Amino acid sequence: MSEDTGRLVGGRYRLGDVLGRGGMGTVWRGEDEVLGRTVAVKELRFPSSTDEEEKQRLITRTLREAKAIARIRSGSAVTVFDVVNEDSRPWIVMELIEGRSLADHIKEDGPLPPQRAAEVGLAILDVLRAAHREGILHRDVKPSNVLLEESTGRVVLTDFGIAKVEGDPSITSTGMLVGAPSYISPERARGKPPGPPADLWSLGGLLFAAVEGRPPYDKGSAISTLTAVMTEPVPSSERAGALSEAIAGLLVKDPEKRLDVSGARVLLQPVAHGHTGVGSAAGADGSRTAVLPAPPAGAPSAPPVPSSPPAASVPSPASGQGGASRTGHSPVAGNGGRRKKRADGGSSADRLRGALKNVRNGAAAAASGSAPPAEAPGTARQGQPPGTAPGTPGGAPGSGARSAAAPSPAPPAPKAVPPIPAR
């Protein structure tokens, strides 16, 4: 039991058990003595070596998280009730989610079946859509930041601690790359400004991990993993089944060709609803068929139309983590801020940035000296389900129109032969 157990914060929130600890904070089970409800209280704590500048940065980050969550209207986002200033630091009071993280679920119970993974994906899409409409990028979508409520199965995306809010000065604008390397998009790894597609790449990596039990890229170190994210093809998923199309479309390296929220929803909904026969499917010869809209009542059915082969993507020539309360097993507070420089000539963050710069330069040199690899089948342009290709023959030149090859017409019926008159 902690010495702060039983403490009254903000004149109304009584601290109970500790739900999780991290380097920069503690999450408590609390009781709102005014409204008589159980809540979660996230406390920001400073290490003894933290200087005033770093304290202010961490306070800014904590307040940013609270404000970002408060702006998002989604059933899959945690609800913030209050922010209390106690001991010259903020305490966030929020909804208590009773359950484990997706990462803990995978570790303890194994991967999810594709249908459940698709349900998780749809819930996260709902949060991302609401966040992106508010100009908020999450930037740290990964299994440990997704909670699965035990009683209802509700999926909740947490930890907006490193979210980027449009119009606000970035607290990570010094060149430091934040987030989990296995789930950082190629464009972020190259040092480019992130947009909504970066969050969708992370969702693709999360879905891959949900069904495979491991992330698509994990090379043991941050630099090696980021290098693989930028340069290596996406590994195939052996357990994704009907979820393969959505994962492939979300993990397209070119953000301009990556699935957007609407396109991902089109592919995830049939899988989540158990309609595994709906959507593109690979035939015995490896070809794919495009999904056609349902014909009107009374109209004759038409055979599936083979789609054009996917277009190859050209990688960019330039190359280059706390969360809502939970009752699971992993700490939920933030992963800390920048390390102070040491007397040996630079911090580990400085060395990491230097090594990452070398990786980006090497990737750029490799890209300029060899032909770019073609994208894996099933990739798509933003908002477009995989299996179709832009600018295929039959469209207007330069229009980018998508067309599918129609089946060959049936041969004409033989002409009737008139009867021969009797003699």
Q: At the fourth CATH level, which superfamily is domain 99-277+311-337+351-369?
A: Transferase(Phosphotransferase) domain 1 (1.10.510.10)
Residues in binding site for ATP: 42
Residues in binding site: 42
Q: Do residues 260 and 249 lie in contact, with contact meaning Cβ atoms separated by under 8 Å?
A: no
Strands (E), 33-139: 37-44, 80-86, 89-94, 99-101, 136-137
Residue 349 pLDDT = 53
- Domain 8-94: which CATH number of 3.30.365.10, 3.30.200.20, 3.30.70.20, 3.90.1300.10: 3.30.200.20
What is the model's pTM?
Answer: 0.64
Instruction: Give which of 191, 179, 185, 313 is closest to 250, Cα–Cα.
Output: 185
99-277+311-337+351-369 and 8-94 share a CATH fold: no
Residue 165 pLDDT = 55
The count of other CB atoms within 10 Å of the CB of residue 233 is 12
Q: Do residues 19 and 330 lie in contact, with contact meaning Cβ atoms separated by under 8 Å?
A: no
- Is 140 in the active site? yes
Q: Do residues 24 and 50 lie in contact, with contact meaning Cβ atoms separated by under 8 Å?
A: no
Q: What are phi and psi of 282, to 5 degrees?
A: -85, 130
DSSP-based three-state secondary structure for 155: strand
pLDDT mean by block of 10 residues, the chain; 423 residues: 84 94 84 97 85 88 85 91 92 93 97 98 97 90 94 90 52 57 94 93 98 95 94 93 97 97 97 71 34 41 41 37 43 38 48 62 55 44 45 40 42 49 45
Instruction: Return the sign of the alpha-carbon dihedral for residues 67, 69, 74, 75.
Output: negative
Residue 58 pLDDT = 86
- Give every CB contact of residue 291 below 8 A, 6+ residues apart in sequence: 278, 279, 280, 385, 387
Residue of 17, 51, 109, 140 marked catalytic: 140
Residue 194 pLDDT = 87
Residue 123 pLDDT = 98
Domain segments of the chain: what residues? 8-94, 99-277+311-337+351-369
